[in-house]
Structure 1
Amino acid sequence: MRLTTIHHIAIICSDYERSKRFYTEILGFRPLREQYRAARRSYKLDLEADGGIQLELFSFENPPKRPSYPEACGLRHLALAVDDMDEAIAYLRRHGIEPEPIRIDEATNKRFTFFQDPDGLPIELYEK
């Protein structure tokens, strides 16, 4: 098998409208397709950012809680690249999001930080 790229990342949210605003209005993902699946009483929103990054945002009634702290088993976090960490942090703060202190990647000497989506999913910003 030869993989060429990650096709998409799927996220289940507890409040669809709140998460939709967060990923589109704050993080800048563009809606590609939105559908309501009546049989599941669930929305599915396909989103895309520059570079072809795609997210699927799902709503389900009463989804179970999942540990999301970085050391829990399973998906650790979603990492997004930025050109200017200081600009990105200032932008998040203007939108009421307080990221963690900046850290330095020991292997690359690149700066990174974490913040959370509305459901507590850890999101990393990594400076290119």
Structure 2
Amino acid sequence: MTLQRMDNVGIVVGDLQAAVAFFVELGLELEGEAHVEGPSVDSLVALDGVRCDMAVVRTPDGHGRLELMKFHTPPATAAEPNAPVNAFGIRRIMFAVEDIEDTLARLRGHGAEPIGELVQYEDSHRLCYVRGPEGIIVALAEKLG
């Protein structure tokens, strides 16, 4: 048996609509929304009384997905806010973009703040990190040439 693909990355957020709007502005497409609860959900995630709204957004090529989740019950627990890039755990999500400056300008309208500077890596890419909704670090990469 071989691995088929990575299906999605799950991200817990406090404001589902704002997170969806941010990732749609980035260029992802809303694939669907759902509300989940009940004994099978509780058993799956080992929590009692789960009530969760979620939205799945996908990259335009259909190969990458984020599952954005808003837990109503039990309430989400706090992680270290605005953890630095070198903290343990999943730290960032990187997206390839066509025009990094345009993308940055649009994301700033959704509260994104650059973490460092826009840099050019050799002659291959322009890169930057921004902090998006819920402190999620989003890396942007524009291929040169």
The TM-score with structure 2 as length reference comes to 0.72
Q: How does 1:78-117 map to 2 (within 5 A)?
A: 78-99=93-114, 100-105=116-121, 109-117=124-132
Shift of 1:105: 3.2
Provide the alpha-carbon RMSD of the alignment: 2.3
Deviations along 1:37-61, whole A, 9 cap, x unmatched? 2432111212212122211111114
Q: Which residue of 1 aligns with 2:70?
A: 59
TM-superposed deviation, 1:69:
2.1
Percent of residue pairs bearing the same amino acid type: 27
Matching residue of 2:41: none
TM-superposed CA distance for 1:98, in Å, is 3.5
1:52-78 CA-partner distances (Å, limit 9, x unpaired) = 221111111431222332111111200
Displacement of 1:30 in angstroms is: 1.9
2:31 maps to: 32
Q: Does 1:119 align with 2:134?
A: yes
Aligned 8 A contact 1:69 1:122 in 2 = no
Write the distance in 2 (CA, Å) between the matches of 1:78 and 1:18.
17
- Report the CA distance between 1:4 and its aligned residue: 5.1
Change (3 A) 1:93 1:117: closer
User: Structure 1 residues 83, 17: closer, same or farther in 2, change over 3 A?
Assistant: closer
Cα offset for 1:14? 1.5
What's the offset of the Cα at 1:94? 4.6
Q: CA deviation at 1:109?
A: 4.2
Secondary structure (helix, strand or coil) at the match of 1:71 reads coil
Shift in Å, 1:95? 4.5
Letter in 2 for 1:50: P
What number of residue pairs does the alignment pair up?
Answer: 126
In structure 2, do the counterparts of structure 1 residues 20 and 90 end up closer, same or farther at CA, with 3 Å as the change threshold? closer
- 1:63 counterpart SS class: coil
CA pair 5-127 structure 1, distance change in 2 beyond 3 A: farther
Between structure 1 and structure 2, the one with the greater Rg is 2
Q: What is the TM-score normalised by the length of structure 1?
A: 0.81
